Structure 1
Amino acid sequence: MTRGVRGATTVENNTANEIIEHTRTLVLEMAENNQIQPEDVSHAFISVTKEVDAAFPAKALREIDGWKYVPVMCMQEIDVPGSLPNCIRIMMIVNTDTAQKEVVHTFQREAVKLRPDLVEGKDR
């Protein structure tokens, strides 16, 4: 069965190093929280808000040991007025036996504001 695993983080500065660093941290936590191995990942979509354009976040996955061959596509998030700026979102499609309600979605930094219902009671 396939499931979607959500994750999001933010950057303070639009720099390649920060984009790659925070994306890497997010992917590793998403994988740890859900016991995901790279071979379990069908593909991943990464969206960024308009002000995050100094690097492709997908580069972070290619640099993680074992993740080089995971198909990843980057795109720009819809520019909704009042939405969270400087945000990187990931939708990872994985093969898993985990029940949908048991999937752990990971929100870091300012992105915890996106889905407080999914991070309630978690220290971030």
Structure 2
Amino acid sequence: MIRGIRGAITVERNEAGEIIAATETLLREMVRANDVAAHDVSFVLISVTDDITAAFPAQALRRLDGWTYVPVMCTREIPVPGSLPRCIRVMMTVETDKRQDEICHVYLKDAAMLRPDLSLTKKTEM
């Protein structure tokens, strides 16, 4: 079954190093929390808010061993007034035997407020 794993993280500054490092942290945590192997990933879609322009966060995926051939694409979020600033969101589609309610979605830093009902913290309390 193909399942989606969601994640998000915020950055303090629009700086290339911080954007790539934060994205790598998020990806590694999504992989760890869901026991994901690169060969089970269909694709990864990464979106950013309009205030993130200093780097392509997809570069972080190439820092993960074995992820060379995983398709990845960056896009922009809809600029909704009042939405969370400096936010990087990830949708990772994977082949897994897990049920939807067994997937651990990962929301880090200020992004934890986006979906506290589905966050990794909530799952680990269960």
Q: Same fold (TM over 0.5)?
A: yes
8 Å CA contact retained: 1:40, 1:95 = yes
8 Å CA contact retained: 1:16, 1:55 = yes
> For structure 1, which segment, 60-69 or 40-49, has the greater mean C-alpha deviation from structure 2 after superposition?
60-69
- Equivalent residue, structure 2, for 1:16: 16
Q: Aligned partners of 1:39, 1:62: CA distance in 2, in Å?
A: 14
TM-score, length of structure 2 as denominator length: 0.94
1:39 aligns to what SS in structure 2?
helix
- Equivalent residue, structure 2, for 1:29: 29
- Equivalent residue, structure 2, for 1:68: 68
Q: Aligned partners of 2:62, 2:69: CA distance in 1, in Å?
A: 7
Q: How does 1:1-124 map to 2 (within 5 A)?
A: 1-119=1-119, 121=122
2:89 aligns to what SS in structure 1?
strand
Percent identity over the alignment is: 56
8 Å CA contact retained: 1:62, 1:69 = no
Residues paired across the two proteins, number: 123
Q: Aligned partners of 2:106, 2:84: CA distance in 1, in Å?
A: 16
Structure 2 stretches lacking a partner, 5+ long: none
Q: Deviations over 1:11-59 (max 9, x none)?
A: 0000110000000000000000000011110001000000001000000
**Structure 1 residue 66: Cα displacement:** 0.9
Moved over 6 A (4+): none
1:46 aligns to what SS in structure 2?
strand
> For structure 1, which segment, 62-71 or 36-45, has the greater mean C-alpha deviation from structure 2 after superposition?
62-71
**Structure 1 residue 64: Cα displacement:** 1.4
